[in-house]
């Protein structure tokens, strides 16, 4: 089965803190790994990662993939209350996307 495991399940931080979210996956039929942000609506796309060691960055968010150890991390620096959401990672096998259960991030003012 194509498992995607995210940790921690939930996280509460104060504004300004830096957080690191983890995603591990099984190697079978791996094509790419994607990160999404989900507020009280459908997931919105953040990053797609295909190559190891190449950081993708968008503002205060960044992500990197390690294809040897089969994991990815999503970093958020200088967190803001608007970052409060569920962060999902998904493994793309070319035919399907397998999602983890998500990390629920709460940023307290």
Partner 1 sequence: DTGVSQDPRHKITKRGQNVTFRCDPISEHNRLYWYRQTLGQGPEFLTYFQNEAQLEKSRLLSDRFSAERPKGSFSTLEIQRTEQGDSAMYLCASSLRLGDYEQYFGPGTRLTVT
Nearer to partner 1, 90 or 107 (CB): 90
Nearer to partner 1, 79 or 103 (CB): 103
Choices 40-48, 53-61, 63-71, 75-83; region in contact with partner 1 by CB under 8 A: 40-48
- What b/e sequence results for 23-56 when a residue is b if at least 16 CB atoms lie within 10 Å of its CB, and e otherwise? bbbeeeebebbbbbbeeeeebeebbebeeeeeeb
98 binds partner 1 (CB under 8 A): yes
Nearer to partner 1, 57 or 78 (CB): 57
Site residues for partner 1 per CB under 8 A: 4, 31-32, 34, 36, 41-45, 48, 50, 88, 90, 92, 95-102
């Amino acid at each position: 089965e194509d498992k995607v495991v995210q940790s921690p399940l939930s996280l509460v931080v104060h504004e300004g803190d830096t957080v690191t979210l983890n995603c591990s996956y099984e190697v079978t039929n791996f094509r790419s790994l994607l990160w999404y942000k989900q507020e009280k609506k459908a997931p919105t796309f953040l990053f797609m990662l295909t190559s190891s060691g190449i950081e993708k960055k968008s503002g205060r968010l960044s992500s990197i993939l390690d294809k040897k150890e089969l994991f990815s991390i999503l970093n958020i620096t200088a967190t803001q209350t608007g970052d409060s959401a569920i962060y999902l990672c998904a493994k793309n096998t070319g035919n399907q996307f397998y999602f983890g259960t998500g990390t629920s991030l709460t940023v307290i003012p």
